[in-house]
Amino acid sequence: MAHFAPLLGVTLLSGFIGLLAANYCDLHAASGQSLALPFAFHRLTLQHMVRWTRDSKIVFNRERGRVSVGKEADVAANGSLLLADLRASAAGFYRVSVLHPNATPADSWSGRLCVEERVLKPRLGYACDSQSAVVDLDCLVANPGGLDFQWALDGKRLESESGQRLSVSLARLRGQGSFTCSAANKVSKAESDAVRPVCKSPPPPTPPVLLCYRAITVKAVFAGGACLILLLLTVVIVQCCSSRKRGRGRGREKQELGMVAISQSEPGSVGLQYETQVLSTEPSARTCSESVPHPHSGNSPPHLSATAEAKQPSPVPKPRTKTALPPNSHTNN
């Protein structure tokens, strides 16, 4: 276990270094391009041994004038490797070794080659945004990843702009010329056609908000005030109606109290009470008299029915009056 840990550390470190080397390029070439790798040994002869490898694979080998791997035309007179019609498969880590006839090292070189596609011509599009009062210009290109963008106005480069999109205010656009954009990578660069954006003028500025508030806020305040006034009017009307009813009730009570006071203050109030009692008791007496039959005399008129008697008006009793007795009444009795 103690020997396994250092071995694992070395393996991880080698893999990390290899990953960094894979993302690092010494040379950049466009797809379809022909390239001679930058190596030169001017004292090269046929007696020297020349060997080229790509990712540890031998792609050219010559010893004592005899080519065992590759073709004689693959290497220049100074020992440089010639690559024609590059494709993505040609990318990799290249190494060359030159040995003297006695097999001693003479010269060497190594480097990583990256092959990239050429940038296609971009297309410049734009869209007007009236609400924001800006125009958005887009540099449209296939596979924009890893590309560098540049913008120019009437042929003059805009140094501060390096994104794929450019936003220009409509006020600044007024009276300006044509825009162009370009996209570039390590091996190629392409520029779009010039475009002059045409947009409607921005809308007029909105009027200032009343009292620094929004219009909807002002409307809400007015609506709330109207509802409050309506509520107050309703309360006042209900209060007035209830007060009027209470006033009528008090007036009736006062009238009844006044009538009671008058009846009590009159001298004949007792007689009136007596008449009331007599009237109240008279129907019962009449009822009793109606139920008991009375004999008829020969000269008397025929007996009236209870209905006829009920229709006749009842006699009104006279009030009793207090008369002063003579002084000698007691003595007579």
- pLDDT by residue (tens digit) across 49-69? 999 999 999 999 999 889 999
For 164-178, the pLDDT digits (tens) are 999 988 877 766 678
Query: What are the pLDDT digits (tens) for 109-150?
Result: 999 999 999 999 999 999 988 888 888 999 999 888 889 999
**Class for the domain spanning 123-191:** mainly beta
State the 10-residue block means of pLDDT for the chain, 333 residues long. 39 43 80 92 92 95 93 94 93 96 93 94 91 90 90 90 90 78 93 89 57 71 84 84 75 64 52 44 43 44 44 55 49 42
How far apart, in Å, are the Cα atoms of 27 and each of 13, 97, 116, 225, 243? Answer: 25, 19, 11, 78, 104
Q: Are 140 and 125 within 8 A, CB to CB?
A: yes
134 near 167, Cβ under 8 Å? Answer: yes
Return the bridge partners of 224, or none: none
Distance CA 60, CA 71 (A): 7
Residue 200 is classified by DSSP as P
Residue 56 region, left (φ>0) first, then alpha (ψ -120 to 50), else beta? left
Give the architecture (CATH level 2) of 21-116. Sandwich (2.60)
User: Where are the chain's structural domains?
Assistant: 21-116, 123-191, 211-241
Predicted local distance difference test score (pLDDT) of residue 316: 55
Same-fold call for 21-116 versus 123-191: yes
Contact (Cβ atoms closer than 8 angstroms) between residue 168 and residue 161: no
